Amino acid sequence: MTTVSDSVHEAAEVLRRGGLVAFPTETVYGLGADAFDAAAVERIFAAKGRPSDNPTIVHLASADQLARVAARVPATAAALLEAFAPGPITVVVPKHPDLPSVVTAGLETVAVRIPAHPVSNALLASFGRPVAAPSANRSGRPSPTDWQATFVELDGRVDMILRGAPSMVGLESTVVYCAEDEPVILRPGAVPAAAIAEVLGLPVSAIEHGPGAAAADSVAAHSPGTRHRHYAPAARVQIVQRRGEQEDTQMSSGTIPTGQRALDCGYIGLEAPSPGIRFRLSMQCPSPEAYARELYGFFRTCEDAHISTIYCESVAEDGIGAAIMDRLRRAAAATSAE
């Protein structure tokens, strides 16, 4: 039985008893357990159907807890946390030997972050210990960004859903590998690569995701999550390009259905869909930030409406645009393979 509650105190009690609590963060909702309770963390993998080789992110109330989970904190990781935490940044650092290996899927590194949502932060402060928490979706599905979507994903599989305001960012955190001299962005998020490079005073490379990307073994080993199917709704996802600027704001219509067929489809983007196309569901987002915040919810709305294909307009890959395009490519690749 899954309880839905507003009580941070009750949720902390559930964690103390070795239970599972889904809770809001500013990126997406997470599914948490006491990071030092190996049996509880194993239940996260079971509840999500998550492959055991995909490590979780350890959530901290503050940087004071770092020494409990990290063997050392490289200067790059310290600088990034100083600049962007609490917030949507995750640093990968050498793991503390006492942290159960199930948390890190057997890796010698641990991913840590300090979230920035009033409810997650109250829970972490009340519990007082590090919390292992991947996103609160069943494995391979889009992350939930509100408590209702979390309930749909996990009802009956977890002990409690701690209710709070929807996630403000809407996409998962930027993950930066900091365990070696050269930092590498393993997953783009709301903290953009340019801001990371500026803080570090170094050029920062990003691993390539998606179809056609050269997935070097060493990179895959750094970021096990990139090997798995991800972020895919039940509908097919197709990315559509905007036309060149001189051709006003119409989308390229090459792949977009017209007439009756569009009635079975959804559309999300920064531009309004072309006037001749009537989608069953469409959402025009006023900014890239709004696009990021709404994307997964729109996927779910389309699923509920049994939409066959969701057309997603591409955006410029700067700022949060890089994270939007990363998730769109993965969703498109996962849904086209079926």
21 CB burial (10 A radius; 0-12, 13-18, 19+): buried
Residues lying near ligand AMP in the complex (CB under 6 A) are found at: 54-55, 57, 92, 104, 107, 109-111, 134-135, 172, 175, 186-187, 222-225
Contact between 62 and 115 under an 8 Å Cβ cutoff? The reply is no
CB of 101 to ligand AMP, least distance (A): 11
Q: Identify which range of 130-138, 241-249, 261-269, 322-330 contacts Mg ion by CB under 5 A.
A: 130-138
* Residue 167 or 282 with smaller CB distance to ligand AMP: 167
CB of 16 to ligand AMP, least distance (A): 22
Using Cβ positions, the residue closest to ligand AMP within the complex turns out to be 225
CA torsion 89→71→56→18, rounded to 10°?
A: -120
CA distance 308 to 234: 8
* Residue 228 or 280 with smaller CB distance to ligand AMP: 228
Contact between 111 and 90 under an 8 Å Cβ cutoff? The reply is yes
* Residue 46 or 263 with smaller CB distance to ligand AMP: 46
Given ligand AMP, Mg ion, none, residue 32, with its beta carbon under 5 to 8 Å by kind, binds: none
Sign of the alpha-carbon dihedral angle for 77, 117, 16, 148: negative
* Residue 134 or 319 with smaller CB distance to Mg ion: 134
Please list, residue by residue across 292-331, b when 16 or more beta carbons sit within 10 angstroms of its beta carbon and e when fewer do.
bbbbbbbbbbbbeeebebbbbbbbeeebbbbbbbbbbbbb
Is residue 25 a contact residue for Mg ion (CB under 5 A)?
A: no
Is residue 54 a contact residue for Mg ion (CB under 5 A)?
A: no
Best CA proximity match to 219, nearest among 92, 338, 121, 69 = 92
Is residue 135 a contact residue for Mg ion (CB under 5 A)?
A: yes
CB of 103 to ligand AMP, least distance (A): 8
Given Mg ion, ligand AMP, none, residue 104, with its beta carbon under 5 to 8 Å by kind, binds: ligand AMP
CA distance 170 to 112: 19
CB of 37 to ligand AMP, least distance (A): 18
Which residue ranges make up the site for Mg ion (CB under 5 A)? 134-135
